[in-house]
Amino acid sequence: MQKLYIKGGKSLKGTVRISGAKNAALAIISASLLAQETVCLDNIPDITDVNVLLDIVANLGVEVVRKGPDSVEITTPDRISTITPYREVKKLRASNLLLGPLLARFCNAEIALPGGCNIGSRPMDLHIKGFEALGAALSLEHGFIKGCCSRLTGSKIYLDFPSVGATENIMMAAVLSKGQTVLENVAKEPEIVDLANFLNSLGAKIRGAGTDVIKIDGVDQLGGGRYSVIPDRIEAGTFMVAAAATHGNVTIENIISTHVEPLIAKLREANVEVLEEDEIIRVIAREELRPIDIKTLPYPGFPTDMQSQVMAMLTVVKGTSVIVENVFENRLQVADEFKRMGAKIKVEGRTAVIQGVQRLQGAQVKASDLRAGAALIVAGLIADGDTEICNTFYIDRGYEKIEQKLISIGADISRI
Ligand code: UD1
């Protein structure tokens, strides 16, 4: 089993380049199955989640050709398998994003239920409600969601919660349906806009992505094309927080600053200097940091995917900070690992109260999910002495070349 070792106490300084967005890439690779012709995708990050999804679609009979370190060509013939087994789905919950495209183009989909995960129960009721409204029949049989339909028909659908996955899945299903679909109370994350832009570049007719209402006029088929995925705002945010927490001075390249605006606002509130230029952000932490309060919310609120990393930073900020996790119920559990490093945190329900201590102490710790893993890296960077992080596979799911990037800006980190 691989482990990451960190010798804490170094300020991060230098320039780091951000890779393509994991969550946009996962949705766009899934959406590629809708295309009748070859699709070439650029800025695809080399991370486990993406590689697992590419293997899953290749196993369905989709032709996947690597065209370089961050490019991939995807060709989906008219006949492929539409069954995704549990042994694959359990490696990647986001493989449920194949349901929409498979139903829309092949009128059939059987996807093993992904089950819970370490950050909460993650139901799929909203996805299913949407597919049913479009005319698909869905059932749960032997641990599989089975869906079938004749051509889907446009409909008006209101999401009870602006779920990212449900918005993407229903949008992908509606693209090839008969007539118009109106999706209300949808997620507004940048990855939704990226997915809509990609689909429109293939001939889809989607309007309103990035607002509360998305309108989709169904088309008969989608063509091919070339598309470059947006930069990963969560990877960028993780480096921004690591820079701030280590009192560093880091320039982050290949970033769309509006996508990290909620984090920029909170870092500034914490007394961190953040300079925004075209596709570049500089984070400088000269002064003592101040405590802050955070509530996670759907975009443009503060992202749940940045909550753990910010908690790591706040463990050593003098005063009291409060974090309320509104999106995933189990996402405060990383606090237990920080406490093993000397942090003072009280968790009650969805709220964590963090009393800043002077220093964290390096310790052996365990990642329980992807962002908790990233947060433990931040904690290790600011701790006295050595930190050993196990379950590194969680981190590799979403961060490309994490230790090489950190070493290039002065961190003492290695993998064994
Ligand atoms: C996506 C992201 C994940 C991010 C999350 C919230 C991907 C691959 N993953 O996950 O990194 O943390 O958005 O920004 O893009 N819910 C339901 N019923 C449903 C669907 C969701 O109740 O049918 C609930 C979930 O339990 C959760 C909340 O909605 O409490 C948000 O989930 P959702 O936005 O769907 O997250 P994901 O798409 O799974």
Q: pLDDT per residue over 218-233, tens digit each?
A: 999 999 999 999 999 9
pLDDT at 116: 47
In angstroms, the first-to-last Cα distance of the chain is 8
**If you measure from the C-alpha of residue 99 to the centroid of ligand 1, how many angstroms do you get, rounded to a whole number?**
15
Q: For 350-395, how does the pLDDT look when each residue is reduced to its tens digit (9 = 90+)? A: 999 999 999 999 999 999 999 999 999 999 999 999 999 999 999 9
**How many residues make up the chain in this entry?**
416
Query: Containing H/E element for 404?
Result: helix 402-408
Helix (H, G, I), strand (E, B) or coil at 293: strand
Q: Tell me if 167 sits within 8 A of 187, measured CB to CB.
A: yes
Nearest to 153 by CA among 64, 218, 244, 71: 218
Residue for token digits 């480096």?
A: 239
Spell out which residues line ligand 1, taking CB within 6 angstroms.
Answer: 23, 26, 94, 120, 122-127, 161, 163-166, 187, 304-305, 327-328
Contacts by 140-147, CB closer than 8 A, 24 or more apart: 140/113, 143/86, 143/112, 143/113, 144/110, 144/111, 144/112, 144/113, 145/96, 145/99, 145/109, 145/110, 145/111, 145/112, 145/113, 146/109, 146/110, 147/99, 147/102, 147/103, 147/108, 147/109, 147/110
Whether residue 298 has a cis bond before it, omega within 30° of 0: no
User: Among residues 40, 107, 117, 148, which one is catalytic?
Assistant: 117
Nearest CA to ligand 1 atom 32: 163
Q: Where are the alpha helices (DSSP H) in 82-232?
A: 86-89, 99-106, 125-133, 164-174, 190-201
d(CA 285, CA 271): 8
Please identify every stretch of the chain with a pLDDT value under 50, giving residue numbers as ranges. 116
What are the DSSP E strand ranges found in 325-363? 344-348, 351-355
Examine the residue annotation and report whether 117 is marked as an active-site residue of this protein: yes
**Which of 97, 122, 296, 325 has the most ligand 1 atoms within 8 A of CB, as the residue to mutate?**
122
Q: For 70-110, how does the pLDDT look when each residue is reduced to its tens digit (9 = 90+)? A: 999 999 999 999 999 888 888 888 999 999 999 999 999 99
User: Which residues are paired to 144 by β-bridges?
Assistant: 112, 141
What region does 14 belong to: left with phi over 0, alpha with psi -120 to 50, or beta? left
pTM as predicted: 0.96
